[in-house]
A = this chain, B = another copy of it.
Amino acid sequence: MSEIRTDPEGTQDELVPGHGLVAEIAEAVDADDAQRVNALLEPVHGADIADLIEQLTPQRRARFVRLYSGEFDAEILAEIDESIREQVIEQLPAEVLAEAVRDMDSDDVVDLVEDLEGPEREVVLAALDESDRIAVEQSLNYPEHSAGRLMQSEVVTAPEHWTVGETIDFLRAEDWLPDQFYHVVLVDPKRHPVGHVTLGRLLSSQRETKLADITEDSFRTIGVLEDEGDVAYVFNQYHIISTPVVDADGRLVGVITIDDAMNVLDEEHEEDVLRLAGVGEDSHVSDTAMQTARQRLPWLVANLFTASLSAMVISLFENTIAALVTLAALMPIVASTGGIAGTQSLAVAVRGLATRDLNKGNARRVVVRELFAGLLNGLGLAALLFAGGFVLFGDPLLGMVLAGAMMMNQIVAALAGVLIPLLLRRLGLDPALASGTFVTTLTDVMGFFVFLGLATWVLL
């Protein structure tokens, strides 16, 4: 029994036993000491071993896999991050790989195989029993990120007319049952799911009770082509623990469990955070500096061009700046505060779209709210700036220019932050693609233009 320890330093590293071990493992790998590697990892959970492998340098990783290959099991393999999966599998002896794969649930095999190329894919598929292989190949026929890829094909079903006693006798006789299952799905003769019974209900009911009398009130099925993000949303929204997946004819083809939905939710979040910041969602802690640089360069180059827009706008006002150089020092204030306001509005909108809290039903209200919120904050900031400009420069006109530009840019920022993601969603794109770059370009350009434009008009 392992217990989660408290973490007085607030670092939380201790929570995950594997993490403190990276240095020790690295040492043992460098010394080619297989025995020590095994001893160190003996008490460690497969999921943590997978994380640990990810944190080794690529050279050490290859040596580690060779040293440790005898202990490589289904659990570790299922948890290995896709970014290093290929490297790990190449190093594993075929029989170890085959053994591990045979112990995996079909959804984990699908997750593993979908990223593999020709020969490795063949090795994995060949290791499976025929029925498992067919199930995996069927799953692979569904589009990526669909419910079909997420489900496992092992489902515990019962005819709708069975009693509790018949079901228990059936379960006791079967030896193929999945490791974890939470419902018995009732199916009609054509394998259409018609309801499900929780195992708790089954256990606490008398043997003669009919299954049909103890099904759950809230029962829903998921179409095999549904997007995995929608599936995760449904699990989270309705506190679902497992639910059947059906094909276009409504026939049962698998079941999705909440732990997989939770993983998807976590991955979708990662996408949102990284996309909003203009980083490819394929970035991993194990990436090298070169990979990291390459992922980020596109947005940086894009920004170079959009920043040139700002430069062009400013260059329109070179005469104004030459006449009053203080303007050059003050102009970033309006632009950068606009950037912050745009980022705030953007984050709230993207998050709202992800949780469906922002939708067609209230989009108009939220846009109007952002408009007024921008106006209110614009007024507040403008008052501060006016006072500041007046006190520091003794010039009420300069204060007015600052205040006016700030107010307009705050409104633009608040609106852009919500309208851009709504527009992207309308176009069928991921709203999180509206990374900061778009919004801050707009607020920069507007900020410089309005400020310098007003200054030219009022001050010169």
Contact = CB atoms under 8 A, between A and B. Distances in A.
Interface string A341-360: 10110111011100111111
A274 B351 contact: yes
B19 A238 contact: no
20 contacts: A7-B230, A11-B360, A20-B360, A47-B238, A47-B239, A171-B200, A258-B259, A270-B351, A273-B350, A273-B351, A276-B347, A277-B343, A277-B347, A289-B373, A292-B369, A292-B373, A293-B377, A296-B373, A300-B340, A321-B328
A444 interface: yes
Given A239-B259, A357-B54, A336 B321 contact: no
Size band of the interface chain A makes with B? 35 or more
A289 B199 contact: no
Interface string A324-335: 011011111101
A458 interface: no
Interface stretch (A27-35, A110-118, A132-140, A219-227): A219-227
A422 B379 CA distance: 36
**For the complex, would chain A's binding face be called helix, strand, loop or mixed by DSSP majority?**
helix
A297 interface: yes
B4 A226 contact: yes
A69 interface: no
A48 interface: yes
Interface in A262-304: 262-263, 265-266, 269-270, 272-274, 276-279, 283-285, 287-290, 292-293, 296-297, 299-301, 303-304
A192 to B, nearest CB: 9
Interface stretch (A85-93, A95-103, A120-128, A307-315): A307-315
Contacts of A370: 289, 292
Interface in A7-41: 7, 9-13, 15-16, 19-23
A22 B54 CA distance: 47
A287 B369 contact: yes
Contact of A314 (B55, B307, B329): B329
A178 B187 CA distance: 26
Contacts of A270: 351, 355
Contact of A238 (B45, B171, B238): B45
Contacts of A16: 237, 356, 359
A12 to B, nearest CB: 6
A216 to B, nearest CB: 9
Contacts of A19: 356, 359-361
A301 B340 CA distance: 10
A225 B6 contact: yes
A439 B388 CA distance: 24
Nearest to A243: B4
Contacts of A350: 273
Nearest to A22: B361
A448 interface: yes
A385 interface: yes
Q: Can you list the 9 inter-chain pairs with the closest CB atoms, starting with the nearest?
A: A277-B347, A289-B372, A22-B361, A199-B199, A10-B428, A293-B376, A314-B329, A292-B373, A328-B328
A418 to B, nearest CB: 11
A233 interface: yes
Contacts of A21: 361
Given A230-B7, A285-B358, A376-B293, A332 B45 contact: no
Contacts of A340: 278, 299-300, 303, 436-437, 440
A347 B274 contact: yes
A235 interface: yes
Contacts of A348: 274, 277, 279, 283
Contacts of A171: 200, 203-204
Contacts of A297: 377, 380
